Amino acid sequence: MDFEIPDETRMLVDTVRRFVDAELVPLEAEVERTGVLRPELARAVHEKSRALGLYAMNIPTEHGGGGLDAVQMCLVEEQAGRTKDILIRRAFGNVYEVLLACDAAQRERWLLPAVRGERTCSIAITEPGAGSDAAAIATRATPDGDGWRLTGHKHFISDGAFSDFFVVSAVTDPEAGPRGISLFLVDKDQPGFTVGRDQPMMGLAGTSHVELYFDDVRLGPQCLLGERGRGLRLVLSTISRIRLAHIGARAVGAATRLLELMTEQARERRQFGQPIGDFQMVQQHLADSAMEIAAARLMVLEAAAVLDRGGDARTRISMVKVYAAETYGRVADRAIQLYGGMGYCKDSPVERFYRDSRVYRIYDGTSEIHRTLVARGLLAHGVGAALAV
């Protein structure tokens, strides 16, 4: 196993780190206070990111993206995780790998404008009765001439208020189970398509999480993404990469920033005539956090390396989803404890991290679901296959 990171990748990671700390972190307080990222700030962040070549880095170069592999993307996303979700979205884009299934005509209408930052996409899978169980969706797409009629209801669709098109999952063959689900590209201005309320959240200030309603929406044949009945497999492949990079790597980045804040506080805050970092219990908070972050980072990079080799990383990604998310939560909790009363105040950044961290154990599959998937992987393939390097 080669742990060496090429100089070119190190320079990219350093660039992202400087960009996040200089351009994004200073905007956090206003977003937390107002609950929105002002449009002029969003445009400025987007333009600065594109000028540095940091937009759509996950998309192959032949489509205008950065062409980064999984390991590189995880190293970059770790740095992105140091700041807020909405700032990450405006700076680096919502250009999901599922759009690579576009055919030639679809690429011109949806993929390439998204890569250029001219259009923004959200993935619409979750429904009131289908969260972790993505195959339990009730939204239907029925054939209508050479096209489709789409009817259903989605909710918790991240960035849905900002996005102008959506990748929507719908049942096209009700008798086929998971093999009867297809994906559709749906523009926001389609007749019968309504964006509902933005669900207020405990954390993730500034990022919308909306309901979507499809009332007999007429879709042409060009709106079917990929093959009919192959939608669930296609979207789950993309979600696996989201779990690894957007959750696993970002959780490591967020926890690392918290550890930096904790270490600074332990050096500077004095109690009983000495820095609180001299007390063993404070040192334990720092040491446990550092060890768990290091372990989570290695789990992320190992799973990414398996993906880059073309291997099956599903069990590893489930491990990452659980461990990185729970590490972030534990570090955030320790940060509140170390800061004391000030950590509980909204003026402190650790309070925001504490609230934001909680959803990492829920979205894109709960910790309980992913523990089940890890166990199933062990029972089906054995310990050696699940843990081999």
Q: What is the CATH number of the domain that holds 170?
A: 2.40.110.10
Over residues 357-384, the pLDDT tens digits come to 999 999 999 999 999 999 999 998 888 8
Structural domain harbouring 213: 121-229
The answer to whether residue 340 is domain-embedded is: yes
**Is 90 exceeded by the pLDDT of residue 85?**
yes
* pLDDT, mean over the chain: 95
Residues 243 and 369 in one domain: yes
Boundary residue ending a domain (203, 229, 255): 229
Distance CA 153, CA 209 (A): 14
CATH label of the domain that carries residue 245: 1.20.140.10
Q: Count of domains in the chain?
A: 3
Residues 285 and 193 in one domain: no
Whether 162 shows a pLDDT value over 90: the answer reads yes
Tokens, residue 191: 């007749």
Where among 197, 214, 229 does a domain terminate?
229
pLDDT, tens only, 279-288: 999 999 999 9
Regarding whether 354 and 243 lie in a shared domain, the answer is yes
Q: Tell me which residue of 122, 96, 340, 79 sits closest to 211, measured CA to CA.
A: 122
Q: What is the pLDDT of residues 209-253, one digit of tens each?
A: 999 999 999 999 999 999 999 999 999 999 999 999 999 999 999
Residue 99 maps to a domain: no
pTM of the full structure: 0.95
Confidence (pLDDT) at 1:
61
Both structure tokens of 144: 């209508």
Percentage of the chain beyond pLDDT 90 is: 92
- Mark whether 376 and 267 lie in a shared domain: yes
The CATH number for 26's domain is 1.10.540.10
- Are 69 and 125 within one domain? no
Q: Residues 268, 376: one domain?
A: yes
Residues 347 and 204 in one domain: no
**Closest to 138 (Cα-Cα) out of 149, 148, 153:** 153
Residues 355 and 322 in one domain: yes
Query: Is the same domain home to 249 and 335?
Result: yes
Model confidence over 109-155: pLDDT tens digits? 999 999 999 999 999 999 998 767 767 899 999 999 999 999 999 99
Asked if residue 101 is part of any domain, the answer here is no
Q: Do 206 and 89 sit in the same domain of this protein? A: no
Claim to verify: residue 88 and residue 66 sit in the same structural domain: yes
Instruction: Name every residue whose Cβ is closer than 8 Å to that of residue 340 and which is 6 or more positions away in sequence.
Output: none
In a domain, 13, yes or no: yes
In the numeric block, which tokens belong to residue 277?
A: 């970092």
Determine the pLDDT at residue 389: 66
Q: Are 364 and 318 in contact (CB under 8 A)?
A: no
Structural domain ending residue among the three candidates 229, 264, 290: 229
70 and 18 within one domain: yes
